[in-house]
A and B are shown apart, each in its own frame.
Chain A
Amino acid sequence: MTRQRISGWGRTAWTTADVVTAENAAELARLVSASHRRGAIARGLGRAYGAAAQNAGGTVITCAQDDGSTQIQLDVATGVVTAPAGISLDTLLRVCVPNGWFVPVTPGTRFVTLGGAVASDVHGKNHHVDGSFGQHVVSIKVLLSSGQEVVLSPTENASWFWATVGGMGLTGIVTEVTVRMLQVESSQVIVETRRLAHLDDVIGAMSDSSDDHFRYSVAWVDMLASGRTLGRGVLTRGNHARASDVTGNEPCRYDPKVRLAAPPWVPNGLLNKFTVRAFNEAWYRKAPAKSHVGLESIPAFFHPLDGVRQWNALYGSNGFIQYQFIVPLDRVDVLRTVIGQFADAGVASFLAVLKRMGPSNAAPMSFPTEGWTLTLDLAAGSARLPGLLDHVDDLVLDAGGRHYLAKDAHVSAHAVERAYPRLAEWKAVRDDMDPRGLWISDLARRLKLVEEHT
């Protein structure tokens, strides 16, 4: 056990906790029963941007850091895979893709654990077609604070299952995940890239029926463009390529590489209005003016940032936050207002991603609902940011929208109460699963997701 200073991927709001590693199930159960009064939370690969997997003054339980590929049980015929929850999607893909099976949902990084994918109910570029991760889970094993391990599925203990999906680790530690994979004929994606000169064009292209012909669809938006070019963007949409579409005799060959690493020290403010504006201009111009179709590998299409190790350090010591919200489909006006306000404030977002989401699932705390979700990366040091985001929060909430807890680093407890109508129902199930009141995180403290026993 070591006392360690930890933060989320955004490298803000650092706190200190006792970090412990469980090598096996018995040790895990022992750690859970020994955890003291500031509670415990499980931590996977620390990719949640905010404080979801840290616990100030308490215990943080991490999983063994070995690769674990030998513990993955894939049924090659049905594509149902069972693995320890500490296994990363990276490891899972290395085992499954060569056998013709792809993860049903992947977020923008493959360096998340299966347990984290369940607890955050992650979504990807295919949400409008396939929904989020929880919808593809066959069953999970969860270690409760009582020390008992239970099997949960949509048919067995369904309310506990759906409380754990998107439950931010506050119902128990997910120890094993069984998930139904997606069959693919190759490890390539046929990608259509289109440059669109205005937000309305981006929205239009993603709204018409053509979007449903693509399993994957997402748009990059230039948040600094204003006036006639407000919300201009690059829309990329794709489908898994068939074996006949690709050359070579190993269509499912999969060999992702991490090529670069961010330098160890970066000044605050490297990613500022001017550098981001220059990047945005180049990125927009780089996309072909006319629609272009080509083949891309899985890492290039799904996980471009994974090619740079520790890219989160590019924001300097102040760190950054990822601000992701969703508004209903008919509230494009709110998107336009928000993008306009960021452009006017000159607050640079290095990464801005727009996606049309499909219907929500049965999990009370799952983020996605039918609507538009916009994701922004924002340097945390700016003094104007709290005021600007507070204002944008109100616009989002007034429109019936909400924020994604796996990314959140700033909203108020009140915002979650307003945006998640099933919060009280989830809390009741959670309390039932954790009568000891053991599970807590810094996120849960800030948002008052659980009753604290101090």
Chain B
Amino acid sequence: MKNGLGVSQNIVLFGGTSDIGCEIVSQMIQPGVANVVLVSRDIDAASARWANIMPDTSDVNVHHVRFDGQDADAMVDVVAEIVDEIGDLDVVVVAHALLGADVNFLRSPREAAVVANVNYGATMVLLLALGERMRQQGYGRICLLSSVAGARVRWSNAVYGSTKAGIDQFALALDGELRRHGASLLVVRPGFVTTKMTAGMKKAPLSTTPDVVAKATVKAIRGTGSVLWTPAAFRVIFALFRLLPESIWRRLPLG
């Protein structure tokens, strides 16, 4: 249960080794937080990472749950397992995703289905399972890490971008339904963030860091909005980009 100061007792992170996800959750830790559940594919990696973030003296109970981002069938059970462990879900951050930057999808088209399943199909199942739980609870907030790459898709990251476009739109529609039952969802659309996911890639304009994205996201989770652009300038920039004819959009030197 969240308290009157806006502190969430129970926080869940899908993608326990995600740079942005870890930064968001670690910035949410303050007096009043009781449980943090880290859901990851590689529990050892998540444990090692969180040993650095959370001192042993902390009052927070850290739980680890294993999941496979590709396994849509298992998502419902994963959510049930978390609820068994900690009870009501106050805030759930969904941060896991595949970028597939080093894959040539024209030569390996089957790889695209994996990315689509992790970022879209299985995540959709997850959001539905979380949404149903929060609908029953009568409160709760889901935070989905989307991307500006989904705001208008470019060939350079078309597989990733289009999955983000899909899950972003689905999540917004789900948010509308959840709000009728006291819960809500926040879609975060960061620009290019320097993380291990984007290591080695050429930085895009207005690139930012996990710390900056996390600060804005934590504030937005406390608030009531449905969409966060970070940096905020992207809201205006993409409002203009969306108006461009496809022929011009393709020629823009954005990488």
State the A residues within 8 Å of B (CB).
3, 5, 8, 10, 12-17, 38, 49-51, 55-58, 319, 321, 380-381, 385-387, 389-390, 409-410, 412-414, 442, 445-446, 452, 454
Contact = CB atoms under 8 A, between A and B. Distances in A.
B136 interface: yes
Contact of B5 (A5, A57, A386): A386
A409 B87 contact: no
Given A49-B4, A57-B137, 18 more contacts: A3-B180, A12-B6, A13-B1, A13-B2, A13-B4, A15-B138, A17-B138, A56-B182, A57-B136, A57-B138, A380-B4, A381-B6, A386-B5, A409-B3, A410-B3, A412-B59, A413-B34, A454-B83
Contacts of B124: none
Quick one: which of B5, B32, B181 has the most chain A CB within 10 A?
Answer: B5
Interface in B134-187: 135-139, 180-183
A321 B5 contact: yes
Interface residues of B, number: 25
Nearest to A411: B3
Contacts of A13: 1-4, 6
B58 interface: no
B119 interface: no
B9 interface: yes
Q: Is the interface of A mostly helix, strand, loop or mixed?
A: loop
B31 interface: yes
23 contacts: A10-B4, A13-B4, A13-B6, A14-B182, A15-B137, A16-B138, A16-B139, A38-B137, A56-B139, A57-B135, A57-B136, A380-B4, A385-B5, A386-B7, A386-B30, A387-B30, A389-B31, A410-B4, A412-B34, A442-B1, A445-B88, A446-B3, A454-B83
A340 B28 CA distance: 28
Contacts of A390: 31-32
A410 B136 contact: no
Given A16-B182, A56-B138, A454-B87, A319 B4 contact: yes
A232 B235 CA distance: 51
Contacts of A319: 4
A445 B89 CA distance: 12
A142 B1 CA distance: 28
B3 to A, nearest CB: 4
Contacts, number: 91
Given A14-B139, A410-B3, A446-B3, A56 B32 contact: no
B4 A57 contact: no
Interface string B19-48: 000000000001110100000000000000
Nearest to A16: B182
Interface of B: 1-7, 9, 30-32, 34, 59, 83, 87-88, 135-139, 180-183
B30 A16 contact: no
Contacts of A15: 137-139, 182
A17 B136 CA distance: 9
Contacts of A5: 182
Nearest to B134: A57
A375 to B, nearest CB: 15
Contact of A38 (B34, B136, B183): B136
Nearest to B3: A410
A299 to B, nearest CB: 28
A287 B75 CA distance: 64
Counting chain B CB atoms within 10 Å of each CB, the highest count among A16, A319, A442 belongs to: A16
B232 to A, nearest CB: 19
A5 B88 CA distance: 17
Contacts of B3: 12-13, 409-410, 446
A3 B7 CA distance: 24
B8 to A, nearest CB: 10
Contact of B4 (A16, A321, A413, A454): A321
Contacts of B4: 8, 10, 12-13, 49-51, 319, 321, 380, 409-410
Contacts of A56: 1, 88, 137-139, 182
Contacts of A8: 4
A73 B32 CA distance: 46
Lowest 10 CB-CB distances: which A-B pairs, in order? Answer: A409-B4, A16-B182, A390-B31, A57-B138, A12-B4, A16-B138, A56-B138, A15-B139, A446-B1, A410-B3
Contacts of B9: 446
A319 B31 CA distance: 19
Nearest to A410: B3
A150 B7 CA distance: 39
A13 B9 CA distance: 12
B58 to A, nearest CB: 12
B238 to A, nearest CB: 28
A380 B6 contact: yes
A57 B3 CA distance: 16
